């Protein structure tokens, strides 16, 4: 009797042991009846090219790429999707007939979570993004395309925010400011935390006054405990404050779809994930 072939996938990063991606893709594979394996690869920065080539030689079909490699991986690709090129970052590789193709599913992951899971329509909203690093870069294009009334990027280092504004100039208008200059005149309906401050345990640096119970607060980072940004926003009286679990699962679903051509149902995955992982 012939054995059905197992297709190889995985994620490369450094550090990597904390990654939930194997569990998520395992749940997707069970749900959609796909015969795949998905492994964690601890890959230090100097090893990335070798690690990708070895995976390709082994017959690997697809990879996720996470910190700190999302930008440097651009050097090792044969093709890059339009959305990844604009984001300047890649989180998904597809190995097709000897070619390595890079894509970025982070932006669509956030949009699916906001628009489908939370039913938030971004058109006409005032959006504030805190932070101007790689995470912000990955989400600006779809946010601008959703036609918000305004989009402001506030950052500790103004220069970095201004560089992003210039990079995305052709897609839409972005305003920039220092954290301490966040306007008291605009009521932001959506505030996204894209800084890495919370992971360092810092949270009291958001000088935002006109936040109210209707402001939707979204933290791109996630944790099994409430994140510092989530705690901060709830203390401010916000009713809708969520962390980045939804985006994590949605970007994985989009990668899975690119690889397998089947879109997994993300409903209920988080509950299963947290039940199985802990």
Give me 177's structure tokens.
């400011």
The answer to whether 118 contacts ligand ATR (rule: CB under 6 A) is no
The residue (of 34 and 152) whose beta carbon lies closer to ligand ATR is 152
Q: Site for ligand ATR (CB under 6 A): which residue of 35, 50, 54, 157?
A: 157
Q: Site for ligand ATR (CB under 6 A): which residue of 11, 132, 140, 164?
A: 132
Give me 265's structure tokens.
């149902």
Instruction: Note whether 118 and 216 are within 8 A (CB).
Output: yes
* Cα–Cα dist 63/55, whole Å: 9
Active site residue 70: yes
The answer to whether 266 contacts ligand ATR (rule: CB under 6 A) is no
Catalytic choice (58, 70, 160, 272): 70
Cβ 200 to ligand ATR, closest distance in Å? 6
Cβ 72 to ligand ATR, closest distance in Å? 12
String of contacts with ligand ATR for each residue 65-94, x by CB under 6 A: ------------------------------
Q: Site for ligand ATR (CB under 6 A): which residue of 155, 193, 251, 255?
A: 155
* Cα–Cα dist 141/131, whole Å: 15
Cβ 206 to ligand ATR, closest distance in Å? 9
Size of the site for ligand ATR (CB under 6 A): 16
The residue (of 29 and 174) whose beta carbon lies closer to ligand ATR is 174
The residue number whose beta carbon is nearest to ligand ATR equals 133
DSSP the chain: -PPPPPEEEEEEESS-TT--HHHHHHHHHHHHT--EEEEEEE--GGGHHHHHHHHHHTT--EEEE-TT-TTGGGGG-SEE-HHHHHHT---EEEEETTEEEEE--HHHHHHIIIIIIS----TT-EEEEE--SHHHHHHHHHHHHT--SEEEEEESSHHHHHHHHHHTTTT---EEEEGGG--SSS--SEEEE--STGGGT--TT-------TT-EEEES---SS--HHHHHHHHTT-SEEE-THHHHHHHHHHHHHHHHS-----TTHHHHHHHHH-
The residue (of 200 and 213) whose beta carbon lies closer to ligand ATR is 200
The residue (of 219 and 254) whose beta carbon lies closer to ligand ATR is 219
Near ligand ATR by CB under 6 A, which window of 6-14, 33-41, 125-133, 140-148? 125-133
Which residues 176-215 are close enough to bind ligand ATR by CB under 6 A?
A: 194-197, 200, 202, 205
Q: By CB under 6 A, name the binding residues for ligand ATR.
A: 131-135, 155-157, 160, 194-197, 200, 202, 205
User: Catalytic site residues?
Assistant: 70
């Amino acid at each position: 009797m012939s054995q059905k072939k197992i297709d190889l996938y995985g994620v490369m990063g450094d550090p990597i042991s904390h990654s939930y991606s194997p569990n998520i893709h395992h749940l997707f594979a069970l749900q959609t009846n796909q015969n795949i394996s998905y492994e964690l690869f601890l890959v230090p920065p100097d090893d990335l090219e070798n690690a990708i080539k070895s995976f390709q030689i082994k017959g690997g079909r697809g990879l996720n790429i996470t910190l700190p490699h999302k930008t440097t991986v651009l050097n090792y690709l044969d093709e890059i999707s339009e959305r990844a090129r604009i984001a300047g970052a890649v989180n998904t590789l597809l190995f097709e007939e000897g070619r390595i193709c890079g894509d970025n599913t982070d932006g669509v992951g956030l949009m699916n979570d906001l628009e489908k899971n939370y039913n938030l329509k971004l058109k006409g909203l005032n959006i504030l993004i805190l932070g101007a690093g790689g995470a912000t870069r990955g989400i600006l294009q779809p946010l601008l395309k959703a036609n918000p009334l305004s989009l402001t990027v506030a950052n500790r280092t103004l220069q970095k925010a201004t560089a992003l504004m210039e990079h995305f100039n052709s897609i839409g208008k972005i305003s920039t400011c220092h954290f301490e200059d966040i306007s008291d005149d605009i009521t932001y309906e959506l505030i996204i935390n894209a800084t890495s401050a919370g992971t360092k345990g810092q949270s009291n640096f958001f000088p935002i006054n006109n936040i109210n119970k209707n402001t939707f607060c979204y933290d791109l980072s996630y944790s099994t405990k409430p994140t510092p940004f989530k705690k901060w926003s709830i203390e401010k009286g916000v009713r809708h404050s969520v962390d980045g679990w939804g985006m994590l699962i949605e970007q994985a679903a989009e990668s899975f779809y690119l690889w397998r051509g089947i879109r997994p149902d993300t409903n209920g995955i988080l509950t299963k994930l947290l039940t199985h992982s802990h």
